[in-house]
Amino acid sequence: MIAGKRIILGITGGIAAYKGAALCSKLVQAGATVHVIMTKSAAEFITPLTLQTLSRNPVHIDTFDERNPEVVTHIHLADHADLIVVAPATANFMAKLANGHADDMLSTTLLAATCPILVAPAMNVHMYEHPAVVDNMERLAARGVMFVEPGTGQLACGYVAKGRLAEPEDIVAAVGVWFGQNQKLKGKKVLVTAGGTMERLDPVRYLTNDSSGKMGFAVAEAARLMGADVTLVAGRTTEPPPQGVTVVRTESAADMLEAVEARFHEADIVVKAAAVADYRPAQVHEQKLKKTGERLVLELERTTDILATIGERKTHQFLVGFAAETEQLEQYAMDKLRRKHCDLIVANDVSREGAGFNGDTNAVEVYGPEGLVEALPLMSKRATAVRLMELIHDRLAAGGGSRS
């Protein structure tokens, strides 16, 4: 889907600029014509010659370095680009883009561009979470800028946290989604749940699970890249949700059920990736529960099964559930699919290394009424989400989806 496309690759001045070389190479290998624009700060981290060699095109840095008198370079590049990718995107760059500043070659070209823009941020976690940065990203998303969320890992500053530039293959996957799938879900309303629920015992304690919300966030991001109108109902999560989607925050299973039911009737696709508590304390104490002895016995009661509830009520919706198991994957997945009236079940063995909670990778098996549809190997959760949304689209296009 990338072959023959003209892509501007913008590289800004962060330590992750070195990954721009791998990204450029992968885009060229995929058949794209890549024109690199670097900021002067980026050139402190990686040489223009490296990018010129990989892209096989001149690298642009200086707005006034006009090499062809027949054109104004930044306008010419902007007019002929099919997509602009900025990776890494620093906090400073996003501030300039959000506020319409045009003081270098990259920002000037972006201001003149009418093609889609895909931004991959990279920075220190505290910078990424700063209200000014969050506000700038929200403003850009509202204008249609797409984002490839940063990953969690070792940062140059020494922190192990969110802010690491998405891997080049994930960015290339997002580019491929845009070119190949961007219209596939246009006009569709997608409802995604993510994260774990919190069941209160008292004002300071609660029962929860290890879900980070990353898989649900990846699904929401993939659906957004495919052109869908996405609503994300999120419980307890460990990182900010993706940009460009409507986020509804919930706490308990009851809260999440209410939020899902309120939006279920207008959804075309529902992906239940949240890890919802099966039980909650039978009594919620208004004050902090004090120590009274060596043992404490808690009485738990069942929560309402959200997936089963909406499965019984669905009319036109394509319903996808998730099953986190530690054994007998196929048996439990197929049983869940039938009992809860799902169209697909995404099952994974959370005891497998790299496929459990909190990580950036997953390995899943997708089941339909006929049995195993596709087994996906260990890959990033973004890539898993993209493939899942492709399967959903293909089934909808073929008239798939049960109504009972």
Binding residues for CTP: 278, 288, 322, 336, 340
Q: How far apart are CA 254 and CA 75, in angstroms?
A: 53
Helices 381-397 + 168-181 axis angle, to 10: 20
Q: E strands along 117-236, which residues? A: 117-121, 146-147, 151-154, 160-164, 189-194, 199-202, 205-207, 229-234
Report the SS3 class of residue 266: coil
Amino acid letter, 86: V
Please confirm, yes or no, whether 342 is among the known catalytic residues.
Answer: no
Tell the residue number behind the tokens 């919930």, with chain if given. Answer: 250
Burial 318-328 (b: 16+ CB within 10 A, else e): bbbbbbbbeee
Q: How far apart are CA 123 and CA 116, in angstroms?
A: 23
**Residue of 24, 115, 157, 342 with catalytic role:** 157
Is residue 11 classed exposed, middle or buried when 0-12, 13-18 and 19+ CB atoms within 10 A define those classes? buried
Q: Which residues are annotated as a binding site?
A: 278, 288, 322, 336, 340
Q: Which DSSP state fits 275?
A: B
Q: CA angle at residue 391 from 386 to 397, to 5 degrees? A: 125
Alpha helices in 68-192 (DSSP H): 73-80, 91-99, 105-112, 125-128, 131-142, 168-181
Q: How far apart are CA 365 and CA 346, in angstroms?
A: 6
Q: How far apart are CA 379 and CA 170, in angstroms?
A: 10
The residues annotated with a catalytic role in the active site are: 157
